[in-house]
Amino acid sequence: MTRFLILMYHMVSNPEADSEIKYACSPEQFNTHMLKLKQHGFNPVSLEQIEQYLLHNKALPDNAVAITLDDGFADNYTHAFPILSEHQIPATIFLATSCIDSNNRWMNQRGFPTRKMLTWQQILEMNASNISFGAHTVNHVKLPEIDASMANNEILSSKKVIEDKLGQPCKHFAYPYGLFNSKNRDSVEVAGFTLACSTRSGFNNANRDPYVLHRIEVYGNDPWWKLKQKMTFGINDASLFFPAKYYMNRFINRLTP
Ligand SMILES: [Zn+2]
């Protein structure tokens, strides 16, 4: 069965504080990731191609990997967009719609540096190219922690705002903080989304619930070898010793009756 990966990035810029190191991938590092993943036989695909595979059984290339960027930081336009275009790699940006043309207030309220978010003009320009846009609620909320009607509204309104501005269906969703319960999952389906990304790690295949797709979280300071290891084993936490342990366990398991 074809398996595929979805990578999750956030900011593509140099970190401005230690708290951002996990979320901010420098443009140089991002460029290296995009260059190397193609060189090492991974095949970048769009979420649309994954949708076509999951829902309509259309073929997906081997080693397929989709690039996603959460939240809609302005640096996705200034830094990620030119790199993705140069390498002809499609990507999906998940937008928290009330933050568009504004800043990352759900983060700076928690002590993170203030960052500019994308403008609608930048979104429209990228949408005409290799970038697609999904919804990430209106206010970047923790869906399971608010009441069901509010959660529903966060899911539906973010979809509608994007559709009104872009003049096309907004079909893909990502749960803020990766948090959702079964009601939230069902609301996303009822709202008309065709698939949703979680932050659970691991590979996906045709048996995966399309509303709980797994993603590999790329940390801002992951060198290529770490990202490659994450992609090879479908894990978030890579270390120099992981492959040795992995193959040793497989070896031991084979010897154990
Ligand atoms: Zn987010």
Span from the CA of 132 to the centroid of ligand 1 (angstroms): 16
Q: Confidence band (pLDDT; 50, 70, 90) for 172?
A: very high
Span from the CA of 176 to the centroid of ligand 1 (angstroms): 4
Interatomic CA distance for residues 103 and 108, integer angstroms: 9
Q: What is the pLDDT of the chain when averaged over all its residues?
A: 94
Q: What pLDDT score does 252 carry?
A: 67
Span from the CA of 73 to the centroid of ligand 1 (angstroms): 10
State CA 210 to chain mean position distance: 14
Phi, psi dihedrals of residue 107, rounded to the nearest 5°: -95, -45
State CA 207 to chain mean position distance: 20
Q: What pLDDT score does 57 carry?
A: 94
Q: Confidence band (pLDDT; 50, 70, 90) for 40?
A: very high
Q: What pLDDT score does 238 carry?
A: 74
Span from the CA of 240 to the centroid of ligand 1 (angstroms): 29
Span from the CA of 252 to the centroid of ligand 1 (angstroms): 40
Q: What pLDDT score does 256 carry?
A: 61
Span from the CA of 136 to the centroid of ligand 1 (angstroms): 7
CATH numbers and ranges of domains, the chain: 3-223 (3.20.20.370)
Span from the CA of 114 to the centroid of ligand 1 (angstroms): 15
Two structure tokens written together for 48: 């649309």
Cβ-based neighbours of 16, under 8 Å, separated by 6 or more: 24, 113, 115
Instruction: Tell me which long-range contacts 23-32 makes (C-beta under 8 A, separation of at least 24).
Output: 23/219, 23/220, 24/220, 25/218, 25/219, 25/220, 25/221, 25/222, 26/220, 27/79, 27/80, 27/83, 29/220, 29/221, 29/222, 29/223, 30/79, 30/80, 30/83, 31/83, 32/224
Q: What pLDDT score does 138 carry?
A: 98
* pTM, rounded to two decimals: 0.94
> Nearest Cα to 170, choosing from 72, 62, 31, 56?
72
pLDDT tops 70 at residue 151 = yes
pLDDT tens digits, one per residue of 82-110:
999 999 999 999 999 999 999 999 998 89
The residue to which tokens 């009601």 are assigned = 183
Q: Give the pLDDT mean for 155-182.
A: 98
Q: What pLDDT score does 139 carry?
A: 97
Residue 198's SS3 state is coil
pLDDT tens digits, one per residue of 130-149:
999 999 999 999 999 999 99
Span from the CA of 95 to the centroid of ligand 1 (angstroms): 8
pLDDT tops 80 at residue 129 = yes
